[in-house]
Structure formats: C-alpha cells, structure tokens
Amino acid sequence: MDKEITETLKTPNTLMVGVVTRGQGSRMMNLLRRRGAHYAVCTFAEGTVPGHILKMLQLAKTKKELVLAFINDEIEDNCYRGLSMDLKIEQPGHGVAFSIPLCGNPTAPEKTELSGALIIVDKGKGEDVLDVFDDLGLRGGTMLSAYGGASIAKILFDMPVQPEKEVVFLVTPSEKIKEMLTSLETELQMSEPNQGIAVTFAISRSIGLFTEAKKGS
C-alpha cells in the first residue's frame, strides 16, 4: 500500500478523470489526494459493454465509479505511477484514467491523439447516444444520472421541478470527433433547442485505454 504523501503549491491545470469498478473509487480518490491532488470527488456511474445480445439480456451495463481530481503537471507523473503500481489500472478490467487540460493549460482537441466528449440529454435518451456510438464503432461510454436546473415556470406549489438528465462520457480517437457530432445531429437533432448538449475536449494523457495517448507523444 502506498503511504507516500506529496504536497504541491502549484495551481491545478489538469482535470484527471478515472473510471473504475464499483468499490474502487475511494481507493483511487485517496491515492490521488496523497499524491498531491488539490481536490478529488467520486460518484456512481454505469459503464457499457458493446453488443445487442448483451442488451437483450440486460447485461450491457456494468457498475462503475467516476473519479474527478484536480492536479498539476508537477505531480501528474507521480499520480499515474501510483495508479499503475497500486491499482494496476493499466491492466484489462481495472479501469481507465485520463487527463484533461484546463483553461490555464489549453489544448485544442485536434492537437492530441485522443479526445473526449461529454453529452447531456434528458433521462432515457442516454441509450440513444450510446446507440449512435455503437453504430460508429465507438466503445467504452460511461453514463451517469444528473439533474437540470428548474426554471421559474416549472416551480409548482413552491417546489422546484428539476428535470432528470443523463450524462454520457466517451474517449475516442480525435479524428472520430467530427463524425460523432454529425451523427448526433442527424440521429438526435442535437442542434435543436432542448435536445441536449455535446462538448468535446482534448485528452493529453491516458492509462488503461486500448489506445494510449502519452503526454509529449
């Protein structure tokens, strides 16, 4: 077990995202904190397994935990080293982790080998997003539940009504991003009002993915 504690005063410039099996989120969160992460949080999520037969058998979803941590380039190597040594995250089935450059360290998606996408839709439409990914041959989406904000018009009996949402994360080769956005528009009319939001971002480094994007490569 890693007992090393790292302190850093440098401002965070990277968001590290991890997706691990249920029960491992706290271990990853605590590891990153010990290695200098300024803030770390985790929540439940669902991973997806490709294949329509699995969907028919209700086996297409796997229980996951999503970890978000703010780090900087001073401790990034140390954090990835810990994930490799302590959580064996580069081995199949142990999870994935990747780095997203923040505003103070901007990187355009087309400048990196891998890019990420975050899609927010109404509850029940997350499966439609995953179907679009499946048709494009994109694998490994992660979905979690969320809530949208209530407008004044939707306040009933002095109680705000918060619409339920689904958030889908995906990591994909950067050259697939434009095709993915086009398909979301064609199949789900994402450019129409109230149909959802899609955001893409660069990924500067990763571990545990089928195609690794190493920093500086």
pLDDT tens digits, residue range 146-190? 877 655 445 545 555 567 899 998 899 999 999 999 999 999 998
Place of tokens 């796997």: 62
What was the pLDDT predicted at 216?
39
Report the C-alpha gap between 131 and 133 in whole angstroms: 5
Express as a percent the part of the chain with pLDDT over 70: 76
Domain with CATH 3.30.70.120 in the chain: 14-106, 110-203
Q: What is the mean pLDDT of residues 44-61?
A: 54
> Minimum mean pLDDT among 42-51, 77-86, 182-191: which range?
42-51
Q: What is the CATH number of domain 110-203?
A: 3.30.70.120
What's the predicted TM-score (pTM) here?
A: 0.77
- Give the residue with greater pLDDT, 209 vs 135: 135
Q: What is the CATH number of domain 14-106?
A: 3.30.70.120
Q: What is the mean pLDDT of residues 110-116?
A: 82
Where does the chain have alpha helices with state H?
A: 25-34, 52-56, 76-86, 126-135, 177-188
H or E segment and range at residue 125: none
Residues 6+ apart with CB under 8 A from 7: 36
What was the pLDDT predicted at 163?
78
